[in-house]
Amino acid sequence: MKRQDKADRIATILDELYAVPPVPLRHRDSFELLVAVMLSAQTTDKKVNEITPALFGRAPNPTAMAAAPVAEIREIIRVVGLANGKSKNLVAMAGLLLERHDGQVPASFEALEALPGVGHKTASVVMAKAFGVPAFPVDTHIHRLAWRWGLSDGKNVVKTERDLKRLFPRETWHNVHLQIIYFGREHCPALRHDPVACPICSWAGVKVRLADEARRGRGGPR
């Protein structure tokens, strides 16, 4: 099957399963979204949602976050991965929002990625959700599934993002990003996956890759 035909069929399945996928990170504005996405690296959205009420109670805006002691922020977010580095980045990020952007989250990839702790994936989520700019955030899970389904060669996330943007219509990018995340959690996990029962891998999975996963006990590219 041609890669584009495969992507079109996958899009139809994802639309049927997740017509309007919600953003899994709870937030009330662009600043809270930015903070939540920064926190989500190497931890679960569920864990982030558990700690953000207390964090935003203490530091609901850039002014309060920038003025907060790093140690206090670290204590609030201690249960998430990389809490030490994330607490420093949150305080520094808030300070730069005040210094460079009048306390507002900038609607620019370049400006976002210049903030401490903000990479391309985080900037893509914020640009898409907060500002409606078409973006296709690719994390390790989407990278893995794109490789597993044969939509990309799995060389790196930059290549995967470029491949997925070619395959899916621009106006659907943010929805497809979320749909793939939800599908991976519910139907296509990294480990102990049954490709025969999977609504997509059962026909789209690359047989050599699936056999390699089963043999090595892993979920895709590292």
Catalytic residues: 121, 139
Which residue matches tokens 């399945």? 13
Which of 39, 38, 34 has its CA nearest to residue 50? 39
Which of 189, 196, 195, 183 has its CA nearest to residue 218? 189
Cα 193 to chain centroid distance, Å, stands at: 21
Which of 81, 222, 71, 90 has its CA nearest to residue 157? 222
Contacts of 108 (CB under 8 A, 6+ apart): none
Which residue matches tokens 């991965």? 81
Which of 84, 80, 111 has its CA nearest to residue 96? 111
| Type of residue found at 141 | H
Instruction: For 166-198, give the DSSP string.
Output: HHS-GGGHHHHHHHHHHHHHHH--SSS--TTTS
Residue 105, helix vs strand vs coil: coil
